[in-house]
Amino acid sequence: MKKILLVVLLSAGLSQYSFSQRPEPTEKEALLTVIAQNSDKTIREGEQIYFEGVKSKKTFSGVTGDSGTFYLLLPKGDSYNIRYKNFQDSVDYSKIEIPYEKGKIFFEFTLTVEPTKVYTLRNVHFDTGKATLRPESFPALNDLAEVMRFKKKMVIEIAGHTDDVGDDAANLKLSQARAESVRDYLIGKGIAKERVTAKGYGETQPASTNQTEGGRQQNRRTEVRIIKE
């Protein structure tokens, strides 16, 4: 975590700071510049980052723009737990303290993250032997659609998988139909069709053994594969 603390007295010249595109700190609130990047310092657009006050219990949040940055005013005299949205989860990251100091305070916080390129959608289910999405699938798919609305450059593949029970060709066809159902749901939520492809892999890419019910259940899955960010 990168943190810079600058305390500027009111009598100091503030002309070196441009507030045309960012708010101005006050005696009660510090200005936090939040930056999101990969480990190679590539900026990350559309990252949702939250700051929860340890004392106040209030949550402040923002979303990084195309520069990988956003600005936030945080009340002084509190520590903040930091977390970010990682598709299906809210991930705890770190903590930052904003001291109660006189004058205008400027902080810079850098979140460095390397998200997985492939992950399995939890709680996405279909009617048995069909490609019809069950209602309990909607919250997870709504979360995915929300992430894609913030990450405007993201392109994904929806990958459908089955276990090895039944005919190989039928499994391949079913996995394709299920992947297309998820794709159609996302398009229905406003995601551009060119940003989502659907591909069924049938039983060809098992995640576990097909010799147990638990293993077969893991193999019956829907994955998100990030093609471009």
Look up the domain containing 174 and give its range: 118-228
My answer on whether 56 and 136 are in the same domain is: no
CA 135, CA 118: separation in Å to the nearest integer? Answer: 24
The tokens for 46 are 């559309």
| Shared domain check, 153 and 108 | no
Same domain, yes or no: 196 and 210 = yes
Tell me what pLDDT residue 21 has: 72
Amino acid at 141: L
73: CATH: 2.60.40.2190
- Reading the block at residue 178, the tokens are 């299920």
**Has residue 2 got a pLDDT over 70?**
no
In a shared domain, residues 108 and 7: yes
Phi, psi dihedrals of residue 164, rounded to the nearest 5°: -100, 15
Rounded to whole angstroms, the Cα distance separating 66 from 54 reads 30
Q: Is the pLDDT of residue 196 over 70?
A: yes
Mean pLDDT for the stretch of residues 197-212? 96
Q: Are residues 127 and 106 in the same domain?
A: no
My answer on whether 20 and 66 are in the same domain is yes
Q: Per-residue pLDDT for 171 more than 80? A: yes
Q: Are 68 and 148 in a shared domain?
A: no
Of the candidates 72, 87, 112, which is a domain's last residue? 112
The per-residue pLDDT for 116 is 83
Tens-digit pLDDT profile for residues 87-143? 777 889 999 999 999 999 999 999 998 878 999 999 999 999 999 999 999 999 999
Query: Residue 159 sits in a domain of what CATH number?
Result: 3.30.1330.60
Q: What is the mean pLDDT of residues 149-165?
A: 95
Q: Is the pLDDT of residue 14 over 60?
A: no
Last residue of a domain, one of 112, 128, 162: 112
Residues 139 and 91 in one domain: no
**Run of H or E including 219:** helix 213-219
Q: What is the mean pLDDT of residues 204-227?
A: 95
Dihedral sign for Cα 129, 135, 138, 140, please: negative
Q: Quote the pLDDT of residue 18.
A: 33
Same domain, 56 and 143: no
Structure tokens at 38: 């990969």
Q: Is 191 helix (H, G, I), strand (E, B) or coil?
A: coil
Strand duo 196-200 + 69-75: pairing: unpaired
Residue 214: strand, helix, or coil: helix
User: How many Cα atoms occupy the beta-carbon half-sphere of 104 within 13 Å?
Assistant: 14
Is residue 91 located within the same domain as residue 165? no
Q: What is the pLDDT of residues 44-97, one digit of tens each?
A: 999 999 999 999 999 999 999 999 999 999 999 999 999 998 877 788 999 999
Instruction: Cite the DSSP H helix spans in 92-160.
Output: 138-150
- Closest by CA to 122, choosing from 82, 163, 156, 86, is 86
Considering the chain, what is the average pLDDT of its residues? 89
User: What's the Cα-to-Cα distance from 139 to each of 136, 145, 188, 212, 229, rounded to whole Å?
Assistant: 7, 10, 14, 29, 23
Q: Enter the tokens of residue 183.
A: 């794709």
Boundary residue ending a domain (112, 146, 168)? 112
Q: What burial class does residue 152 get, using C-beta atoms within 10 Å of its C-beta: 0-12 exposed, 13-18 middle, 19+ buried?
A: exposed
Instruction: Give the pLDDT score at 17.
Output: 32
29 and 90 inside one domain: yes
The total domain count for the chain is: 2
